[in-house]
Copies of this chain bind each other. A is one copy, B any other.
Amino acid sequence: MKPADILYNHNLKRTSCREGIIEVIMSADRALSENEIRKRLKVNYDRTTFYRSFKTLEEHKIIHRIVVDNQTVKYALDNSITNKKEHAHFYCNDCQEVQCLESAVIRKMQLPAGYTEEETEILIRGTCSLCKRN
């Protein structure tokens, strides 16, 4: 599906900022930070516009954020677009890149009585195969 179609399906106006963000995220093989996405866009958008676009796309479940730490947020396409299952994410302490681990499907954990789960996030920190070799 093309970025424009995704926006249309979610009743969102087709603006170049939104379309660009989706396009960049779609073409990446890993999660990207706000700055990485900005660099890959042709046009330079205002910070405000950028934040609001991310917010909108997140609210409509087109993209989802992966919080690595309180200073680093990365974005990837949402499962509803990619048809992936809920999966764990891997953060490489070396190259600091985030990857979706499609094979690491998230299993619900047993909770204390009275607790209900809505979402489970798993972030595995370690070293990726590329960095391991060096």
- What residues make up the interface of A, taking CB atoms closer than 8 Å to B? 67, 69-73, 88, 90, 93, 101, 103-104, 109-130, 132-133
Residues of B near A117 (CB, < 8 A) are 124-126
Given known A-B contacts A71-B70, A73-B70, A110-B104, A120 and B124 have beta carbons under 8 A apart: yes
What is the count of identical protomers in the complex? 2
- Contact in complex: A110, B121 (CB < 8 Å): no
B103, B109, B118, B132: the one within 8 Å of A93 (CB): B118
Tell me the dominant secondary structure on chain A's binding face.
strand
Residues of B near A129 (CB, < 8 A) are 112-115
- Contact in complex: A112, B116 (CB < 8 Å): no
Considering the complex, give the chain B residue whose CB is closest to the CB of A130: B114
- Least Cβ distance of A24 to chain B in Å? 20
- Contact in complex: B104, A122 (CB < 8 Å): no
12 more CB-based (< 8 A) A-B contacts, given A112-B129, A115-B126, A121-B124: A67-B67, A70-B70, A70-B73, A101-B109, A101-B111, A103-B112, A104-B111, A111-B126, A114-B128, A114-B129, A114-B132, A121-B125
- Contact in complex: A118, B109 (CB < 8 Å): no
Residues of B near A72 (CB, < 8 A) are 70
- Least Cβ distance of A82 to chain B in Å? 18
